[in-house]
Structure 1
């Protein structure tokens, strides 16, 4: 490998790593902004949030990787052009196409790695991510005792706290209503001026330490022969007591991941192919069943085995069913036909809904299958756009390259999203819908590569200013000549 190739590789790898980390950080911030309400205030341990962010980072690779390739390639060749290093490379007899070879090989290797990542690692990461996110969103809030609200988070208890300190554990003005249980416990009401709540060491109980309070309790009387015994009312004060509340159903529990494994995002390429073939088989068998069930309702008329009237003319059969009866019989024919049509409609409506659902499943599985390949192709195509753009723009850093790369990436992302929705709706085939963005951007990349190899100035602002001035000057001169001719004709 030549030294010039090592120079280009070093110039590309450093900005690629930096931009990849930046893009991943931005996407993680978007993830936190989207689900901040589902994560805050639920008492998660730090490692649960860290695990969720790790899986979210793995799922964001399919968006961060193409954008990082595009941005880093523009920055690399823009910096080389700005420092006149591309001029030195060309003066040494090395064309821009040859200078792109080592980076092109690197992007190809990166694309192959992206394919294996999307086929083997991404389904497992999606399974972990979506199952953990589901459990996090279903988790109840850890703020069991909000201020000024009668909380019913604990079974058989209703608790109200007037005020809480900043630490979230010191309580003031507590009121506890206990409704009683099926084991003979009597309901009671407890009031306390101050309190403090802590979790037990095994995280199974919430212990509330109460200070300076009073407890009210009612119990049935002891009159054995009185059918309406008086109840016993008990009231006693306390300086210090505690109340243990069970945290069953309030702690963080994980759902079995097998319940999420049937989603297409959690499947590998081979499993997607097997799923598509099974659903296609179900659709084909459903079509045959539809024909068999609908054909039983199709009856034009019933004919006797032997004609009863020998004078019946053969031409009457060609006039339709209505020609065989009088006016009263014709109404019966119409009612029978309407009943048969309603039966067929009711039968086919439910089966049509099943067919739509199965078709949507096939299209969704095909979309996920094609995504295994489009990620690698997107890296290559965006590199073919970014490298010549950097050589033409000749600007490094995070200024103009960021703007240009974001524009092209948005074009790619919007076209891909439209194609994906068209495939799921059944308006386009999976091959066309998922590869249309690649098919549109590839000629653009080849055109930019050709222009960059020929030292094109398509992004030179001075060139467009000169063209604009020349065109405006020609229009003005033509207008003046017409005015002069009009003046002469008037004279």
Structure 2
């Protein structure tokens, strides 16, 4: 391998690693901002948050890889162009295409690895991530009493304390509403002080109360029996204990097998299997529709014939004077209309139910096909964005994190917007799933070819001075044409005036 190839590889790998880590950090921060309310105040251990971030990092590779590929390629060839190293390479008789050959091989390896990652690793990571995130989101917030605010996190109780100690273990001026037995708070407990501690197995929270009173409405427990002597009970106590079941706050892991059939948790082989199974179910559903409603179609000439003769019944629609009911005898007309209405209502209900089921299976088929195509578009998008970024960096000839970052963001946003809009259209069934997932790649491939051609021919595509000079030339040409046209329009007028003067002279 030539030294030039090693130089280009080293110039590419370091920016790629740096930009990949930066993009991954930004995406993780966006993930934390999105789910910050589901993570704070629930008492998770540090390794649970770390595991969640690790899974999310693997999931975000599908977006971080193409963006970092685009940004690093622009920075690499922008730095080489700014330091005139590309000029030296071309002066040595090596074309830009030959100099970029090792990078094409490296990017091809990255793309192949991205495909294998999306097919074998990403479904497993999505499964782990989805199950863990589901358990994190449904876990209740830990019990925390704020002074002067009712706390309803414990099922069946509402607790308020006017004050608490610095360590949060002692509560002052407590008020506890117990509404487990009914929707109304029929049991109220007041205490001047309460001490909180947990049971040895941490499944029960014990609140040791001092100097309080308990009010209980006995009618709420046995409202059917009227007892005029015992309608309201009041208990005074010097010290008592109130126990609260904390099983609702225990973090329990959900079985991951419940999420295995989701389209994001499947590889290519599983997606093919689920797609075929879904197609069989959809065909079976569509084939059973006519068989279910066939028995509810009747022909009037088979059931409502006049008794005298068949010929007296006009069967042709052109002979009907007012409505179709004219062909039915008067004694059977009401019954026929009632039966037809009931049968029509039943057929309509059956068709609505079958239509909803068909829509469900059709949406599943679309999601499976979209996920199937996504396995390939991730790898191809890395190649495409590299083919855009490398010639673009050679054209702009600017390194660092200034103009390359701006150009990378612009082109990545174009790619991301096109892919997002087309994928949404595919999910809604407006276009085919193949075109929905490959639309951005097909539209930007001519741009990559155009930029590669301009970079190979040393075109100053983004040179503002060049466009300024061209604009000045166009303006000067326009001024010249305008001046010549004015002279041509003025010349006939002067000639005519001379002729007028000649005819008027004696």
Task: Sort the TM-score into its range (normalised by shorter chain).
Answer: 0.7 to 0.9
Alpha-carbon offset, residue 353 of structure 1: 0.9
- Name the SS of the counterpart of 1:302 in structure 2: helix
Could you tell me which residue of structure 2 aligns to residue 90 of structure 1? 90
Query: For 1:291 and 1:234, how far apart are their aligned partners in 2?
Result: 71
| Residues 202 and 477 of structure 1, relative CA distance in 2, 3 Å threshold | farther
Deviations, residues 238-283 of structure 1 (Å, cap 9, x unaligned): 6xx8755432111222222222222111111111111110110111
Alpha-carbon offset, residue 313 of structure 1: 9.3
Cα pair 1:269 1:369 within 8 Å, conserved: yes
Deviations, residues 152-202 of structure 1 (Å, cap 9, x unaligned): 333554321223567655644333456799xxxx97734235x66455665
Cα pair 1:77 1:387 within 8 Å, conserved: yes
Q: 2:397 aligns with which of 394, 399, 406?
A: 394
Cα pair 2:366 2:427 within 8 Å, conserved: yes
Alpha-carbon offset, residue 106 of structure 1: 0.8
Cα pair 1:301 1:321 within 8 Å, conserved: no
- Name the SS of the counterpart of 2:15 in structure 1: helix
The question of 1:235 aligning with 2:232 is answered no
Query: For 1:36 and 1:417, how far apart are their aligned partners in 2?
Result: 25
Alpha-carbon offset, residue 230 of structure 1: 11
Query: For 1:171 and 1:41, how far apart are their aligned partners in 2?
Result: 19
Moved more, 345-354 or 361-370: 345-354
Moved more, 457-466 or 339-348: 339-348
Query: For 1:281 and 1:39, how far apart are their aligned partners in 2?
Result: 42
Provide TM-score, normalisation by structure 1: 0.86
Query: For 1:326 and 1:430, how far apart are their aligned partners in 2?
Result: 49
Q: 1:419 aligns with which of 409, 412, 422?
A: 422
Cα pair 1:177 1:190 within 8 Å, conserved: no
Alpha-carbon offset, residue 419 of structure 1: 1.9
Q: 2:413 aligns with which of 410, 413, 417?
A: 410
Could you tell me which residue of structure 2 aligns to residue 266 of structure 1? 265
Could you tell me which residue of structure 1 aligns to residue 220 of structure 2? none
Could you tell me which residue of structure 1 aligns to residue 478 of structure 2? 475
Cα pair 1:300 1:321 within 8 Å, conserved: no
- Name the SS of the counterpart of 2:249 in structure 1: coil
Could you tell me which residue of structure 1 aligns to residue 251 of structure 2? 252
Alpha-carbon offset, residue 233 of structure 1: 5.5
- Name the SS of the counterpart of 2:378 in structure 1: helix
Aligned positions of 1:451-470 closer than 5 A: 451-470=454-473
Deviations, residues 275-324 of structure 1 (Å, cap 9, x unaligned): 110110111111211122343344343349x998789499x654468589
- Name the SS of the counterpart of 1:151 in structure 2: coil
Cα pair 1:180 1:187 within 8 Å, conserved: no
The question of 1:438 aligning with 2:433 is answered no
Alpha-carbon offset, residue 87 of structure 1: 1.1
Cα pair 1:160 1:176 within 8 Å, conserved: yes
- Name the SS of the counterpart of 1:262 in structure 2: coil
Could you tell me which residue of structure 1 aligns to residue 79 of structure 2? 79
Query: For 1:290 and 1:40, how far apart are their aligned partners in 2?
Result: 51
Query: For 2:216 and 2:299, how far apart are their aligned partners in 1?
Result: 80
Query: For 2:214 and 2:107, how far apart are their aligned partners in 1?
Result: 76
Query: For 1:60 and 1:167, how far apart are their aligned partners in 2?
Result: 40
| Residues 308 and 390 of structure 1, relative CA distance in 2, 3 Å threshold | same
Query: For 1:340 and 1:489, how far apart are their aligned partners in 2?
Result: 90
Deviations, residues 41-66 of structure 1 (Å, cap 9, x unaligned): 22222222111111111111111111
Deviations, residues 126-169 of structure 1 (Å, cap 9, x unaligned): 11112221222212122432332222333554321223567655
Alpha-carbon offset, residue 379 of structure 1: 0.5
The question of 1:129 aligning with 2:129 is answered yes
- Name the SS of the counterpart of 2:300 in structure 1: coil
Could you tell me which residue of structure 1 aligns to residue 114 of structure 2? 114
Unaligned runs of 5+ residues in structure 2 are: 218-226, 495-506
- Name the SS of the counterpart of 2:43 in structure 1: coil
Alpha-carbon offset, residue 40 of structure 1: 1.6
Cα pair 2:389 2:408 within 8 Å, conserved: yes
Alpha-carbon offset, residue 219 of structure 1: 9.6
